[in-house]
Amino acid sequence: MSLSDRLLLIQFNDPKFQSFLEKVGYELFSVDQWSEVQDLLGREPIDAILFDGSTDTDSIDFLETVKNQPKIQSLPMFFFVDNEDRAEELQKKSLDKVEVFVKPYSIGAVASKIATEVRLRKFAGEDEVTATLSETNAALRDLTLHLKKDLEEARSIQQNLLPKVLPEKDEFEIAFSYEPLEEVGGDWFFIEEVAGNKVSVQIGDVTGHGLSAAFIGSMTKMAMVAAGTCAPHELLQKMNGLLEPQLPDGKFVTMFSYLYEYETGLLHYARAGHPPALLLRRREGKVLQLKGEGFPLGFLEGADYSLGQEIVEKDDILIIYTDAFPESTNMEGAYYGIERLEKFLLELPREISAEDVIQLLKENFDDFREGRLLKDDATVVALRRKNGG
């Protein structure tokens, strides 16, 4: 996106979205009246229009009038409505270069669409109507290469948010698998050794996937750092306080956090709407579900999170994972499910490494799906206590 890209906002009032657009380099012009639109278009070159029609019953008719103006016909326009009925009404009018979004919308998804349409228009020339087919095809090829480069950079940024080195101790071992559905994803995890012979571990899952989920995942990692604590329940509470005012409606993050004292095996944990952790207790020959109470991050202002506690004994295995595992299905439509995860853990040999746990779980998961494609990011972290207890 060029710093000169200019957006005209008509009856548009979303401070959070407007602030985001300005931060990524757009120049914004806001108007409320048609006379202001005409005057501004006579003075300033505009690349796209955002029009909020959710508060005005005549806005669709107004949009049709606006779109028929010579200076506006070739401009991409993004129209916002408050329900599906109004969206369907507008779709029937078949207006050229008009994208419709129903509130609540994803800032990331809308911003990505704006960037794509503005680039297409610029690559094809200021007026796409006069562009030849070959020029348009060349523009699309350039755009594809540009978007591919953007995705590669986004993937690199996301990879840098993940832990680069895992703790290596005599008392325990830890391993992971991270498989985003697309080039970038909404899953993330973090593993860090902290003072007092402890290791702090988090796993998170943003609603949706792709660029918008990856963007929120990055925000979540920054909120974790800003929270300034490793106590799981306090960490989730502070992160929720930071994220709740910032996330778009309908977007939230599930998360499981634990703090493991590796010399004693003491485990503290808390959960924010995430699937329960599973602890294989070798001595008892059973699997415990570690749950805890708490809403997903960004879901409820002032949410509280309960703190749970367990002891991890010698050769016990603890796994945390995202919901792609229990919610994936095979060709018959059966779910992999938490019970299948528990059965998998109970059948593991005693002298197995954390890395082999991950490898065998991936094989078991792939065999169950019988070639059925994943529909979500899939992440799992396994911890095994080697000494003590």
More confident residue, 147 or 341: 341
Higher pLDDT: 36 or 272? It is 272
Q: What is the reported pTM? A: 0.63
> Helix axis angle, 34-43 relative to 59-67, nearest 10°?
30
What is the overall mean pLDDT for the chain? 84
Map tokens 């703190």 to a residue.
307
Q: In sequence order, which residues have a C-beta less than 8 Å from that of residue 375 and are 6 or more positions away?
A: 181, 324, 328
What pLDDT is recorded for position 149? 66
Share of residues in the chain with pLDDT > 90 (%): 42
The predicted structure's pLDDT at residue 284 = 95
Helix (H) or strand (E) run with residue 277 in it? strand 277-281
pLDDT tens figures, 171-199:
999 999 988 776 566 788 999 999 889 99
Confidence class for position 261, pLDDT limits 50, 70, 90: very high
Q: What is the pLDDT of residue 13?
A: 86
Per-residue pLDDT reduced to its tens digit, 70-120 = 667 778 888 888 888 877 877 777 677 788 888 888 887 788 788 878 877
The per-residue pLDDT for range 203-243, each reduced to its tens digit, is 999 887 667 777 888 888 889 999 999 999 999 999 999 99
Quote the CA–CA distance of 204 and 296 in Å, as a whole number: 10
Is the separation of the CB atoms in 322 and 314 below 8 Å?
no
The pLDDT of residue 248 is above 90: no
Q: What is the mean pLDDT of residues 136-142?
A: 58
Question: What are residue 273's phi and psi, to 5 degrees?
Answer: 65, 15
Tokens of 1: 């996106």
Note whether 358 and 382 are within 8 A (CB). Answer: yes
Average pLDDT over residues 10-32: 85
pLDDT of residue 101: 86
Q: Do domains 6-155 and 166-385 have the same CATH topology?
A: no
Check pLDDT > 60 for residue 133: no
Find all residues with CB under 8 Å of 168, minimum gap 6, and list them: none
Q: What is the residue whose two structure tokens read 């367990």?
A: 310
Least confident of 102-106, 171-175, 284-288, 330-334: 102-106
Which of 212-226, 270-284, 367-381 has the highest average model confidence (pLDDT)?
270-284
Question: Band of the pLDDT at 384, cuts 50, 70, 90?
Answer: very high
Q: Please give the full DSSP string across 346-382, using - where no structure is assigned.
A: HTS-TT--HHHHHHHHHHHHHHHHTTPPPSS-EEEEE
DSSP annotation of 156 reads H
Which of helix, strand or coil describes residue 132? Answer: coil
Q: What is the SS3 assignment for 297?
A: strand
- What would the two tokens of residue 303 be? 């949410």
Spell out the domain ranges in the chain: 6-155, 166-385
What is the CATH class of 166-385?
alpha beta
Which residue has 């408050």 as its token pair? 82
H or E stretch at 203: strand 198-206
Matching residue, tokens 């796209």: 48
CB 387 within 8 A of CB 171: yes
pLDDT tier for residue 141 given thresholds of 50, 70 and 90: low
Fold of 6-155: Rossmann fold (3.40.50)
Short-list 227, 301, 213, CA closest to 257:
227
